[in-house]
Structure formats: C-alpha cells, structure tokens
Amino acid sequence: MTAVTITTDRMKFLRLALAADAVVTGGNGLVYLAFAGPVGDLLGPDAGLLRGIGVFLLAYGAAVGLLAARRDISPAATKAVIAVNIVWTLASIAAVVTGAIGFSTMGAIWAIAQALVVAGFAELQIMGLRKSRAN
C-alpha cells in the first residue's frame, strides 16, 4: 500500500488548524508545568497530576507542531491527532461527571471549556483534511 500525502496548495487550512492546536496545547502544558501549585489550588487537581499532564501536553503539542510544519501532511497522522483530541474531549467530560480528578467548581468549568476547545480543533482538523483532499 502506498502512503498518501496531501499537496501543499490544498493544506493551508489543515496546517493552520494543526498549528493552532499545537500552540494552545503547548501553552497549556507550559502553564501546568510552571504553575502546577497555584493552578491546582484554583482548579482542584493535585500539582503532581498537573505536572504529568503538562509534560504530556508539551510533548503532544510539539508533535502536532512538527506535523503542521511538514511539507506534506500525512492524512494518517492527522487522523491520529483528531482521534487523540476526541479522546481528550471525552475524558475531560468524564472526569468532570465522575469527580475522579477532584475538580473545584472553577476546575469543572475550565475542564468543560477546554474540552470544547479541543473538540473544536478536532472539527477544524476534520474540515481541513476534507478540504485538502478536495479536487
């Protein structure tokens, strides 16, 4: 099976959606790492958990940024990013509903708000993938 790549002229929207995701995700990761104590006090989760999430978000944001910067963006890699974003969205909602992470009221609002943003990135990436494949 031959790998399919997307030509550069048709991937501007997808590249922008991936790049925006990378910047926001990396920014969140940096904040969670640098300010885990105060953020934990505000949102509820333990500072250690926030640091772990921060490391994941920084690594994930860097990977998405590298994907966005590639000359040819892999549809398979883009689908993987979309899948992770959907899983993150659902996990965030589940964490609020179950109380598993111990969010404060502000933390629950934050978790739902960021879940909506991540779902929005997934939708933009789906749209970008479709646009990049249009003839």
Number of Cβ within a 10 Å radius of residue 106: 11
Q: Is 86 exposed, middle or buried (0-12, 13-18, 19+ CB in 10 A)?
A: middle
In a domain, 15, yes or no: yes
| Residue 99 φ/ψ region, left for φ over 0, alpha for ψ in the -120 to 50 degree band, beta for the rest | left
- C-alpha dist (Å) from residue 37 to 27, 51, 59, 70, 135: 17, 9, 21, 36, 50
Closest by CA position to 65, among listed 55, 77, 54, 76: 77
124, pLDDT greater than 60: yes
pLDDT at 10: 77
Q: Which residue has the higher pLDDT, 29 or 7?
A: 29
- Mean pLDDT calculated for residue range 51-56: 98
pLDDT at 65: 98
Residues in the chain: 135
What is the rounded distance in angstroms from the CA atom of residue 15 to the CA atom of residue 9?
11
In a domain, 1, yes or no: no
Strand partners, 6: 73
120, pLDDT greater than 60: yes
In a domain, 29, yes or no: yes
- Residue-number span of the structural domain to which 25 is assigned: 8-133
Q: What is the pTM of this model?
A: 0.89
Number of domains in the chain: 1
Least confident of 10-14, 47-51, 54-58, 72-76: 10-14
Q: pLDDT over 90 for what percent of the chain?
A: 87
In a domain, 109, yes or no: yes
In a domain, 55, yes or no: yes
Which residues, other chains included, contact 43 with Cβ-Cβ below 8 Å and sequence gap of 6+?
50, 103, 104, 106, 107, 110, 111
- Mean pLDDT calculated for residue range 91-97: 98
Which residues, other chains included, contact 25 with Cβ-Cβ below 8 Å and sequence gap of 6+?
57, 60, 61, 64
User: Tokens for 89?
Assistant: 């969205």
Average pLDDT of the residues of the chain: 93
